[in-house]
Chain A
Amino acid sequence: MVEKNSASPGNPPKRFLRLRQFLGDVPLLAWLFGGLISVLIEQQVGERLANLLGLPKIPVLFGFMLAMKEPLLLPGALAYVLVLYILTIVLIGKITARPFNLMAAKMIQWPIAIPVILHLVVLYAIMHFWADISLYRELTLKLTLIAIMLTLSLNIINGYMGEFSCSHPGFMSLGAYGASAVMVLFFVNDRLFGDAILPEVLGPFLFPLALILGGIVAALGALLIAIPSFKTRGDYLAIISLAFMFIVKSLFENLQFLGGARGLKGQPDLANLPTVFIWLVICVWVINNFVRSTMGKALNAVRDDELAAEAMTVNTRRTKMVAFLFAAFWAGVAGGLFAHTVRFINPNTFGVQRLAEILAMVYFGGLNSVYGSIVGAVSLNLLGEMLRPLALFKWIIIPLLLILIMIYRPTGLVAFKEFDVRKLIQPKRKPEKEV
């Protein structure tokens, strides 16, 4: 999927047009199939290929980290990525385009759920085999998926609704502490909460409930902000939510039964890759449903002209409250998953730095767009991991990149694009010559 270069909708350069011409008829399923083959090949012969190219081991994140530690390995890493990912995927995608197009044409007639589930299964298989190579890959992948949830939920407020909310780390921490407290209380022998109450076998069954509980706690927190904020218009929410974030942070610093400033650790290891993936799919599905309904589009109406929205029978205050609580809920769920992924949280995890990170992902990817949130979260997360060897300079490069994006595309890379599953999975035809 790396080279699925959806060139900018404005005026793509000529080279991109040719590439589009060449790859335009490859349906999504063929891409996914190519990806699956490529990760399977990597699993079988990746080690050997890496050795052949003079690399000590399989490049974990597309060879970036290796190349930065030892620049001499750069050609090898590049060759690895080129052969194993890009060439394989393009080749297989192109070859299988015709049969998969026929298949897609057939599937689009069926109830939409069937082809969607099929695509998701293949997508998950790709992630699974890719992450199988190393624990580090798995962790990075899980954190990226969680970041998508956070970004998407903040996009509801900052993009679709057009307010500026700063309280996402606060909601995240409410969810994280809520879910962790339940799970640690029931399933872990812990210094703070005492012995486990329930047998460990029940853990996976109670975990979703704990996450939902975390989400609800976050939504209740959001209610505290929403009640005063949505009476007044303008920048009010920005300030209130910022203060709220600091309040939540120092509240947890002072709640000794939740570990205080030292934090809470030892969450059961239940947030495995399939769990995180399923939650992400549910999150994207529900949020996308919402923003595509007239009730969700009411948010856009409120953002673009609140008075007109009221005059067209939209209950603007209720609309804003619902969306805000909804977004907070998902931030809370993401927080719970985050806590069980890294298995250690403390109040400092949810400070200004986290806020800057989430905001950066939202604005990088694009406002008012599910695609944008996915692009933003994935690219900034992977970029952050890839640039890790640069240590400090990572925090100069990423902000600079974001400033450039803001200057040239102030609403982000893929803003205002509707996420239409049907369009995504339908069979593809070659684009017209004169696009």
Chain B
Amino acid sequence: MQLFLQNLINALQWGSFYALIALGYSMVYGILMLFNFAHGDIFMVGAYIGFGVATGLTALAAMGTLALPNWVILVLTILISMFLTSFVGMLVERIGYRPLREAPRASAAITGLMIGIILETGNLAILGAERIRFPSLIKSTTYDLGGVFVTNKKIMIVVVSLVLMLALNEFIRRTRWGMAMRAMAFDYVVIPLMGVPLNTIASLTFALGSGLAAAAGIMFAIAYPVLDPYIGIIYGWKAFVAAILGGRGSVKGACLAGFLLGFIEIFVGAYMPSSVRDLIAYSIILLILVFRPHGFFGEPHSAKLRL
């Protein structure tokens, strides 16, 4: 039981990462009907921007120019990085997707894939192949809850993720922009004719998704402070599959599927050799998709690739 609870907590943490990344995929897919294959790398870029901001702020604090307590630095890092990464996302949309709005959707997927490669390589070219260490902003404290050990980091990660997810949900459900996004997801051919600016909504979608990915990146870096340029590929593709599993454009679905993926991975890892983790995780997802072709909360739709 203790082992189970311990794993449960780990699974929640991993689920948070996956869910946050999956949201970005899911929103772009839901609203613009595009596979944003660059999103995994935006997560990676987010983590690196977070690294830059955190290092900068810690250095300032150490020099005494801007003596902020660590928790303030953390909050600032998350906020600033989310903000900056949103611009990366918007840039990706502007360069890779907007010129291809009339083109077949598959071509846009290819540009996305290529932008992802450029982001990875660019990172390698700028920072080199060495892994970098994320500055430790919170001192790790472990609480013993009856044999189950929980660190404050894990609690923070799960709580912040949940807060972000709820905030996104509220944004989409309650604000005017959110309503425009939902309308666009419903029909992205007709709705722009009704005066909803397609380009603005597309930018907004990419910005929101990228912001969440940046948050995921920073929290990933807090939990596992060693970064390399390939984290985007490793976790991004899994999150992509999770996003689709959740159902087209469903916030609930993407979160649920993200957490499910986290659970599968942790529990497989706990009871079986870790090399079969991917095998089982993907097989389960495949099986679910065979029986629920539109994912958890998706509705049947039949958009063919426009060729």
How many Å from the CB of A413 to the closest CB on chain B? 13
CA distance A247 to B281 in the complex (A): 9
Q: Mark B222-241, 1 if CB is under 8 A from A, else 0.
A: 00000000000100010011
* Contact call B237/A359, Cβ cutoff below 8 A: no
* Contact call B302/A234, Cβ cutoff below 8 A: yes
* Contact call B114/A163, Cβ cutoff below 8 A: no
Q: Mark A242-265, 1 if CB is under 8 A from B, else 0.
A: 111011011101100000110000
Interface residues of A in 397-416 (CB under 8 A from B): 399-400, 402-403, 406-407, 410-411
* Contact call B279/A254, Cβ cutoff below 8 A: yes
Contact among B115, B278, B282 with A399 in the assembled complex (CB-CB below 8 Å): B115
* Contact call B117/A242, Cβ cutoff below 8 A: no
* Contact call A363/B241, Cβ cutoff below 8 A: no
> Which A residues lie within 8 Å of B113 (CB)?
356, 359-360
* Contact call B302/A244, Cβ cutoff below 8 A: no
Interface residues of A in 401-434 (CB under 8 A from B): 402-403, 406-407, 410-411
Pick from A18-26, A32-40, A88-96, A388-396 the stretch touching chain B.
Answer: A388-396
CA distance A301 to B125 in the complex (A): 46
Interface residues of B in 259-307 (CB under 8 A from A): 275-279, 282-283, 285-286, 289-290, 293-294, 301-305, 307
Q: Mark A359-388, 1 if CB is under 8 A from B, else 0.
A: 110010001100000000000000000000
Pick from B53-61, B62-70, B101-109 the stretch touching chain A.
Answer: B101-109
CA distance A386 to B113 in the complex (A): 22
* Contact call A247/B282, Cβ cutoff below 8 A: yes
B195 interface residue, CB < 8 Å from A? no
Pick from B92-100, B183-191, B201-209 the stretch touching chain A.
Answer: B92-100
How many Å from the CB of A366 to the closest CB on chain B? 11
Given contacts A363-B107, A410-B103, contact A403 B241 (CB under 8 A): no
> Which B residues lie within 8 Å of A220 (CB)?
none
> Which B residues lie within 8 Å of A261 (CB)?
275
Contact among B125, B276, B282 with A243 in the assembled complex (CB-CB below 8 Å): B282
* Contact call A250/B110, Cβ cutoff below 8 A: no
In the complex, how many residues of chain A place their beta carbon closer than 8 angstroms to a beta carbon of chain B?
48
CA distance A400 to B117 in the complex (A): 10
Interface residues of A in 224-252 (CB under 8 A from B): 228, 231-236, 238-240, 242-244, 246-247, 249-251
How many Å from the CB of B185 to the closest CB on chain A? 14
How many Å from the CB of A323 to the closest CB on chain B? 15
CA distance A392 to B102 in the complex (A): 32
CA distance A356 to B117 in the complex (A): 9
B136 interface residue, CB < 8 Å from A? no
Q: State the 7 A-B residue pairs at the shortest beta-carbon distance, nearest first.
A: A410-B103, A399-B114, A395-B121, A250-B279, A250-B278, A410-B107, A228-B290
Chosen A-B contacts, 19 in total, with CB atoms closer than 8 Å, are: A162-B304, A228-B289, A228-B293, A233-B304, A235-B35, A239-B244, A243-B241, A243-B286, A247-B282, A303-B304, A359-B110, A360-B113, A395-B121, A396-B122, A396-B125, A402-B110, A402-B114, A406-B100, A407-B111
Given contacts A306-B304, A407-B99, 9 further A-B contacts (CB under 8 A): A228-B290, A246-B237, A251-B279, A303-B305, A352-B237, A363-B106, A399-B117, A406-B111, A411-B107
